[in-house]
């Protein structure tokens, strides 16, 4: 089985040549992240991924986690690997300096997260959730809670979770029943059960910080009556030393299709001590800080798994001899010489490289939205992040599943066998389209809240940005062939977005019926834009003798000519309307 190798050259291209990360961060007041420093971090991440956690991927999948007497044991090697993880400072890479962190840009953080996710998705999910919990506490908690918890979390000594889902309340959090009763000392007693809690219990850290959604006794019904609470596994003293075990235990762990080495837990809170985070009855808004961070993060993890599967498929195609290629006189040829195998490999390559560039651009916009001195630049970046987050999450996870299945297809029957490693990627990455709000929810968020809600203003601004760039390159003969399809797509998206805004006024089902194909259409708009920017960055270097640039240009051409035409069918699907979806005769009642 071939192990994962970090695609450092592509990360360097995206961060330095495409996104000009150092220049952007300098404009945001951070001049300490030069290209050399970033490359050192990427190289160290690759070394850790390849040498420490990638070798644990298959064995961790085979062994899984074990629950005994409320204690979860992770697979052999995970505790030692996690100790190396925190000793090397990876838990602190994006944390604030005031908490002992390194404060690296979000784009660099997520490049590292992609590397770790590609090497071992189950392992990387533990610190990934903890980092998202850190972000939430930093954004919403009191100064006292921040001072006590954030340094421990930045050092990786304490982990974190997000406790939302209940058996009767998945996406519809207005139905949750967990209760929070105020106590005379200012704390709250939390009682209820939460399911599907990633990393809810494990043996990697001495403490786990649960962020729990619950209802106060006088809370209004629905989502307007949800509050957010911090509930530690072990209650700490004021100096950070640990006191007594809190009344929160793991009742069971799920037996899942994939990510076996990551504990997915049912957590039971039996009058556990908790502290209010933010304002009472405003907990859902507070939790969305963590949700949006995770949505971008899990999309990036999916890209990492897709990269790992693509690497295996490419190696196999360059080793496996089967069938005679057209024009060949050999008894049989490498399968990489067959046109259909090349189609599959190029589809994977175009998807993983395009999505990587898109995800890291969205990550960079997060920093611009927080730190750029120009208020208009901050506002525009925030608006774009809101559009791109559901696209990165949903398109990234959908395409990752498609790509890992394609990698299995390249292997043929050998891909269905565990030893190839590809079938694990298929099983592992399947969860990402369900994580942090299913992809149908992401699609409704994009179309309903981000497009229709403001009359299409935000989407029109993005379309205008794409069109302006495409028109500039279309005016140049050497890039006209690349820019033409992007211009056509931008016009289609502008038209169909306006149609949906108008149609949704009269048809209550219009958005629901159109949302999933619309999200994929918007995904192609975003991907075509980053591919056109890639063409701009590589066009003059394609004849330099460096095969990397020639490959980039050829892959951009493949994407624009072979994959972008899918958007024509997506537009037809959207314009078919909600009538055929809601036709009662099509799905008769089971009763």
Residues that are catalytic = 436
Residue 196 backbone phi and psi in degrees, to 5: 60, 40
CA angle 124/126/127 to nearest 5° reads: 75
Tell how strand 227-232 and strand 207-214 pair up. antiparallel
Torsion of CA 361, 362, 367, 371, to 10 degrees: 100
Separation between Cα atoms, residue 273 and residue 244, nearest integer Å = 11
183 CB-near residues (< 8 Å, 6+ apart): 189, 273
The secondary structure of residue 155, as a DSSP letter, is T
In whole angstroms, what is the distance from residue 64 CA to residue 61 CA? Answer: 5
As to burial, measured by CB atoms within 10 angstroms (0-12 exposed, 13-18 middle, 19+ buried), residue 426 is buried
For tokens 């974190």, name the residue: 160
- What is the distance between the alpha carbons of residues 342 and 345, in angstroms, rounded to a whole number? 5
The C-alpha atoms of residue 357 and residue 317 are separated, in whole angstroms, by: 25
Selection from 87, 72, 166, 171 nearest residue 122 by Cα: 72
Tokens of 557: 């051409």
As a whole number of angstroms, the distance between CA 272 and CA 231 comes to 7
Of 301, 201, 214, residue with least CA distance to 248: 201
Q: How far apart are CA 74 and CA 76, in angstroms?
A: 7
Q: Which of 326, 347, 352 is nearest to 337 (CA)?
A: 326
Backbone angles phi, psi at 523, to 5 degrees: -60, -45
Q: Number of helices and strands (H, E) in the chain?
A: 19, 11
Q: Cβ neighbours of residue 485 under 8 Å, at least 6 residues apart?
A: 528, 560, 561, 564
List, in order, residues 6 or more apart from 170 with CB less than 8 Å away: none
The pair of structure tokens assigned to 248 is 């929160």
CA distance linking residue 173 with residue 190, whole number of Å: 17
């Amino acid at each position: 089985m071939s192990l994962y190798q970090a695609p450092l050259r592509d990360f360097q291209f995206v961060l330095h040549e495409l996104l000009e990360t150092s220049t952007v961060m300098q404009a945001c007041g951070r001049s300490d992240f030069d290209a050399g420093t970033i490359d050192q971090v990427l190289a160290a991440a690759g070394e850790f991924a390849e040498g420490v956690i990638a070798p644990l991927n298959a064995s961790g999948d085979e062994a899984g986690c074990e629950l005994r007497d409320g204690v979860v044991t992770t697979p052999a090697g995970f505790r030692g690997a996690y100790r190396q993880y925190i000793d090397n400072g990876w838990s602190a890479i994006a944390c604030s300096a005031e908490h002992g962190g390194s404060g690296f840009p979000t784009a660099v953080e997520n490049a590292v997260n992609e590397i770790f996710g590609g090497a071992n998705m189950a392992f990387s999910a533990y610190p990934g959730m903890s980092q998202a919990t850190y972000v939430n506490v930093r954004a919403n908690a009191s100064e006292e809670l921040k001072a006590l918890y954030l340094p421990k979390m930045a050092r990786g000594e304490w982990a974190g979770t997000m406790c939302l889902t209940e058996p009767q309340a998945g996406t519809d959090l207005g139905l949750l029943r967990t209760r929070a009763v105020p106590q005379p000392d200012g704390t709250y007693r939390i009682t209820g059960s939460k399911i599907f809690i990633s990393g809810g219990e494990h043996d990697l850290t001495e403490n786990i910080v649960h962020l729990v959604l619950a209802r106060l006794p006088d809370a209004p019904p629905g989502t307007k009556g949800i509050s957010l609470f911090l509930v530690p596994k072990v209650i700490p003293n004021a100096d950070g030393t640990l006191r007594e075990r809190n009344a929160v235990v793991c009742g069971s762990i799920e037996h899942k299709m994939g990510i076996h080495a990551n504990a997915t837990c049912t957590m039971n809170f039996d009058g556990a001590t908790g502290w209010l985070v933010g304002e009472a009855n405003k907990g859902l808004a507070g939790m969305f800080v963590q949700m949006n961070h995770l949505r971008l993060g899990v999309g990036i993890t999916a890209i990492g798994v897709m990269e790992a599967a693509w690497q295996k498929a490419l190696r196999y195609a360059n080793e496996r001899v089967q069938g005679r290629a057209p024009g060949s006189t050999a008894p049989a040829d490498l399968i990489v010489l067959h046109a259909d195998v090349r189609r599959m490999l190029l589809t994977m390559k175009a998807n993983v490289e395009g999505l990587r560039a898109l995800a890291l651009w969205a990550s960079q916009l997060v920093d611009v939205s927080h730190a750029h001195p120009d208020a208009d630049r901050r506002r525009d970046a925030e608006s774009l992040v809101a559009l791109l987050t559901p696209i990165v999450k949903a398109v990234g996870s959908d395409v990752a599943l498609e790509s890992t299945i394609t990698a299995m297809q390249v292997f043929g029957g050998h891909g269905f066998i565990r030893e190839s490693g590809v079938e694990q990627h298929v099983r592992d990455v399947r969860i990402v389209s369900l994580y942090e709000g299913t992809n149908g929810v992401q699609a409704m968020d994009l179309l309903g809240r981000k497009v229709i809600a403001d009359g299409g203003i935000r989407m029109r601004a993005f379309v205008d940005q794409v069109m302006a760039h495409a028109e500039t390159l279309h005016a140049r003969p050497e890039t006209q062939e690349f820019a033409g399809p992007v211009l056509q797509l931008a016009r289609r998206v502008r038209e169909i977005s306006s149609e949906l805004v108008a149609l949704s006024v009269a048809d209550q089902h219009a958005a629901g019926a159109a949302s999933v194909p619309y999200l994929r259409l918007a995904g192609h708009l975003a991907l075509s834009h980053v591919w056109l920017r890639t063409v701009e960055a590589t066009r003059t270097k394609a004849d330099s003798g460096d095969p990397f640039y020639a490959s980039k240009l050829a892959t951009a051409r493949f994407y624009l000519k072979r994959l972008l035409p899918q958007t024509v069918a997506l537009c037809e699907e959207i314009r078919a309307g909600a009538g055929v979806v809601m036709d009662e005769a099509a799905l008769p009642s089971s009763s």
